[in-house]
Homo-oligomer: A and B are copies of this chain.
């Protein structure tokens, strides 16, 4: 698991998973969409509590490797301010066959999204902003229902 303030480079990260025993590579990327729940998004800010995001992310990856016969698995998440189109999170998995690569890639991104201490604040084109998922956080402008994110 890695957390980075710099742009994620999926091609470079993929290359680190190359292995002659691998028959399948599945990569997932979460990109900043220009809309969420009917609102036009301008940019996003990710707040990450790094020590626990790293340890919890490592746990998730270790779980995936235990559940599925993988060769390699890795995940990188951005922190800080991101523009539309930027890659917020990357997951890459290699294995002998494709079943486990798809399943493990999906497992990792699903768990990363619900378990790692990472928060995102959306800044909208109309000027307001809000923390995603935080309907009842008593914050101004946080009127989002349960977020459906990528």
Contacts and interface: CB of A to CB of B under 8 A. Distances in A.
Closest 3 CB pairs of A and B: A23-B150, A11-B11, A23-B33
Main DSSP-derived SS at the A contact region: mixed
A109 interface: yes
Interface string A19-42: 011111111111111110000000
A84 interface: yes
Interface of A: 10-11, 14, 18, 20-35, 84-85, 94, 96-98, 101-102, 105-106, 109, 148-150
Contact of A18 (B85, B94, B98): B85
Contacts of A98: 28, 30, 109, 150
Contact of A27 (B26, B106, B150): B26
